[in-house]
Chains A and B, each alone.
Chain A
Amino acid sequence: MRHAFIDSYANLDTALHRIDAKKKIICLAAFLLVIIFTPIEYFFLFLLYGLAVSVLFYLSRLPIRLFFSKFTELLPFVILIAAPLLFKKSGYGLFLNCIVKAILASALLLIVSSTTKFTALLEALKKLRLPKLFIDLLAFMYRYSFLLEDQFLRTKRAYTSRCVNQKGNFQEVKILSNMLGAIFIRTYERAEKVYLAMCARGYQS
């Protein structure tokens, strides 16, 4: 099946791709901190950040539609979280602050995660001495996200093929929730099996 990889552009070869993953993570963290701690009043600085991010994006040779497709997924959540700020005193500034910083930060994250192979990223995090459990969790998430997507697609396909006449929206919501329940249980069972498979090869937690 076809998958939307988070690192599907990691095989390109540009200057950005060639930089060591560890350095990329450190620079990312530093840049993020600077962005977060810049007060929103320094409008000029934000223009500069925006320019820097655009240059990086250009250098990475990532297609611009990747950028937009990710943002249409992400922006509603950001707006939802930031919206309550609008009701505060001088809330507009805070709201803008939130949105602008979120956009810059996620663009940077997108650039780093799309120009680095996920395994290289994990390796780098290991070198940066992140807790092993945390890295293991990330590795599992990456590994099984494909499977989860497959499972969902398959379940949906099976549903569509048997869904001859639509019975209105409420029915569909009910079916969808059942579907999610089934997927959850299967995921849970798989987790248990994977744990057994780990034990079978001598894993000791």
Chain B
Amino acid sequence: MKKMIEVRDLNFTYPDGTFALEDIALDVYENESLAVIGPNGAGKSTLLLHFNGLLNGQSRCIKILDKDMSKENLAFIRQKVGFVFQDPQDQLFMPTAYEDVAFGPKNLGLGKEEVGKRVDDALAELGLSDIKDHSSHHLSLGQQRRLSIATVLAMSPEILILDEPNANLDHLSRRHLIEFLINLKATKIIATHDLEMVLELCQRVIILDKGKIVSCGPAKEILSDPAILKPHGLEVPLSLKI
């Protein structure tokens, strides 16, 4: 299997001295879905930010598609790795939905026609074609979340990173999102508290607590073992209890 991400001995401390990640080692393979779970403040988001070079603890520790996380490779890596932020308001910063989706492809230096095509495709894929001239502020949260994903898909990334993609979504939007992600052919890393979604979507799970990976394994195995989950404030999802 092709190795998409390789992390070795990653440590990270925030500038104010708050320590966030310790000795992280992790491999992510092509087309797998990996869930990152753990309590609030465990370092999930911090870890994810590293995969896109947005934080660089020690850049030598991370390889994306066999390339070091170095300044020269950053443009390449950011094209290959799409990052969907937790709060769509952070991700959607242009005046209209269309311009938001076009932002990434434009930065890739694509021609006008190609940009237009990619934007239309991405919007269509997420069922947002008819709101392309709307200001993102006036969309529902479900639409905003889908639009955030479209902004990233338009760059045709191979790895998709999602930070709590279904936080605050209503039931139907959550369902649509899960179906969409199941059908999407890409390597996915998802930080979430929604363990039911993890069961449906992810093959593998890592548990992060106080900046360390405390366990790692197949989703069903880990999520059905209270002895693993309980010490880290997690509990067995209801569907596995029945």
The answer to whether A198 and B78 touch across the interface, beta carbons within 8 angstroms, is: no
Which range holds the interface residue count of chain A?
20 to 34
Report chain B residues within 8 Å CB of A146: 135, 137
Q: How far is the CB of B236 from chain A (nearest CB, A)?
A: 34
Closest to B108 in A: A202
| Distance, CA A200 to CA B74, complexed state (A) | 10
The answer to whether B93 and A194 touch across the interface, beta carbons within 8 angstroms, is: yes
Which of B83, B95, B136 interacts with A122 by CB under 8 Å?
B95
A142, A143, A196: most-surrounded residue (chain B CB, <10 A)? A143
A81 on the B face (CB < 8 A): no
The answer to whether B89 and A190 touch across the interface, beta carbons within 8 angstroms, is: yes
Closest to A118 in B: B95
| Distance, CA A144 to CA B151, complexed state (A) | 18
| Distance, CA A73 to CA B241, complexed state (A) | 62
| Distance, CA A56 to CA B117, complexed state (A) | 40
Report chain B residues within 8 Å CB of A144: 93
Report chain A residues within 8 Å CB of B82: 200
The answer to whether B52 and A200 touch across the interface, beta carbons within 8 angstroms, is: yes
A-B contact pairs, 8 of them (CB 8 A): A196-B49, A196-B90, A197-B83, A197-B90, A200-B78, A201-B151, A201-B152, A202-B108
Which of B78, B95, B108 interacts with A142 by CB under 8 Å?
B95
B87 on the A face (CB < 8 A): yes
Report chain B residues within 8 Å CB of A197: 83, 85, 90-91, 93
Q: How far is the CB of B122 from chain A (nearest CB, A)?
A: 12
Which of B78, B103, B137 interacts with A147 by CB under 8 Å?
B137
| Distance, CA A119 to CA B75, complexed state (A) | 29
Report whether over half of chain A's contact residues are helix, strand or loop; otherwise say mixed.
helix
How many residues of chain B get a CB closer than 8 Å to chain A's CBs? Answer: 28
Q: How far is the CB of A7 from chain B (nearest CB, A)?
A: 10
Q: How far is the CB of A190 from chain B (nearest CB, A)?
A: 6
Kindly count the residue-residue contacts between A and B in the assembled complex, taking CB atoms under 8 Å apart. Answer: 65
Which of B49, B78, B89 interacts with A201 by CB under 8 Å?
B78
| Distance, CA A119 to CA B108, complexed state (A) | 23
The answer to whether B54 and A119 touch across the interface, beta carbons within 8 angstroms, is: no
Interface of A toward B, CB cutoff 8 Å: 118-119, 122, 139-140, 142-144, 146-147, 190, 193-194, 196-204
CB proximity to A under 8 Å, residues B61-90: 75, 78-79, 82-83, 85, 87, 89-90
B215 on the A face (CB < 8 A): no
Closest to B87 in A: A193
B13 on the A face (CB < 8 A): no
B96 on the A face (CB < 8 A): yes
Known: A143-B135, A201-B104, A202-B78. A193 touches B90 (CB 8 A): yes
| Distance, CA A142 to CA B79, complexed state (A) | 28
Report chain B residues within 8 Å CB of A140: 93
Closest to A193 in B: B90
Q: How far is the CB of A191 from chain B (nearest CB, A)?
A: 10
Q: How far is the CB of A201 from chain B (nearest CB, A)?
A: 4
